Structure 1
Amino acid sequence: MTDLLTIAGLRTVFRTHGGEIAAVDGVDLSVPRGRTLGIVGESGCGKSVLSLSVMRLVAHPGRVATGSVTLDGRDLLKLSNADMRDVRGSQVAMIFQEPMTSLNPVHTVGFQITEAMRAHDTHASKAELKNRAIEALKRVRIPAPERRFDEYPHQLSGGMRQRVMIAMALACSPKLLIADEPTTALDVTVQAQILDLLRDLQQETGMSIILITHDLGVVAEMADDVAVMYAGRVVERGAAGAVFADPMHPYTLGLLGSVPRLDEERETLLAIEGSVPPPFALPKGCRFHPRCPFAVDACKSEQPPLRMLADGHQAACIRAPVEAFVA
């Protein structure tokens, strides 16, 4: 199985009065063709900045300092701005976190979808673009698509706005879809519908998906592979089944322990003490050690690299694997 996307040594920094700080710090990831990579972690771990780096949408004063993002053999970081605009939408597309703020409130849904199509097909007629946009709305199962085409975002429910975002992202049949918290603020029923839709569209088109979320249930349902991020770095990655069944990093263990399960009786859920450190105040050594119940003195001085601990399963912990993690 070949990789569609390869991220190597990616480091994204932001300039501050105190110097540059890294929101993404040396990330290595890959996404095989037709598969889904789930990226999980608490807020502030660098997940969204990673996705914006891939799309080359990091706003000033941020910038990608080092690394490569290779899509189908081309390093996106080396493309001109014009070439990158051609790549966005046609080869890689993104669903942003909040559709109400991502959609333009003063333009109709149809105008915004056809605008995305027009950017990559300047010769299509207005009528042809409208027909294609209506087909895109049908594809994401929006009822009465001909009527919705002329409606504004505020006239749609949250679930329908999210479907419009998906229709826009898939309008030009990209090879890679980046979904940044695609089910945030949606009720459970609509969330399930959106996930089913993404899964069906992936099977239909063969596209790859990067699914960014803090919801481990969504990842367990959707992802083939999982990368766990903490403080700008990947601390564990592997096949989804392996990571969920046998977590090898204390942070992953803590995330899984904080999720209620129907097959276990617990009076209280586990909690990870403290919070993710800000990029300007990272601890020395392992960045998780101040919150880690298994930390030893060596954790305070050594920054552990990702190590292969099982077939395709990596973790950045000097103590992994240890029996205590599975207690």
Structure 2
Amino acid sequence: MNYVRTGILMAGLTALFAMVGYLLGGAGGMLIALGIAAATNLYSYWNSDRLALASHNAHEVDERSAPELYGMVRDLAARANMPMPRVYLIDEEQPNAFATGRNPQNAAVAATTGILRTLSYDELAGVMAHELAHIKNHDTLTMTITATMAGAISSLTTFGMFFGSRENRPGLLVQILISVLAPMAAMVIQMAISRSREYEADRLGGEICGNPVALADALAKIAGGVSHIPNETAEAKPATAHMFIINPLSGRGMDFLFSTHPDTGNRIAALMEQARAMGIGGRNAGGFSSQATQSPWNGSHKPGPWG
């Protein structure tokens, strides 16, 4: 059902783009709009991962520099029957993570150093499984395209008055309404797609790690951390907020039209229901790893080169 809803919403976003182009410049404006959409999406298709990682100063790690994290992602990718993504760390105190890349063969997962210090092994495995689910479902490409198109609609309305002949342009009042309402509608559609994909990634992530309860616990801890620890880089570049497992801009993930993420409580409830269906009860029960729930990056364990 989530896939059908996503397809309908993306079709709506494309139709909105074409409609705005037509209203602002007639048939010529619509063709220009579609040309802009094609160009921006093509650029995003090839460069979205590099741009996202560079914007948060992420650095790639391997089995030598981050053996626990790298090994965890490798094992989870094998369980999910998907290629091993590149693994990145972000020197950021706020606990969070995201995935990026145009397809499973060209993907990356990134975790903040704060999340390594906050979560237990099983909880972090749940988060990484969630990010792998985004990659496996091609959500990273979907969200890149929707974000690009939403931004292009905003740009189109700004410069729309220059499209088409004077006779074909709408009246000034109509242009003003389009310039206000079209970007707002595009943002609503983009956010609806993002929320739909988060629920699906939670569900598949719970299956991959084998412990929806651990992922639920991780979401609660991350949301608490986000509410107390600001992410200045994300604040400066809010267009990347939808990529993270929890909105890095605020700890209030309410389910309203302009939210990039579903309410954390609703996500936790869905994961706990999934755990019950899988016959898993209690907290931190039946997870990906048989290790103790104490984080391997805390206590006496050597935290690695970033700690």
Normalised by the size of structure 1, how large is the TM-score?
0.25
Q: Could you say which structure has the higher strand fraction?
A: 1
Q: Could you say which structure has the higher helix fraction?
A: 2
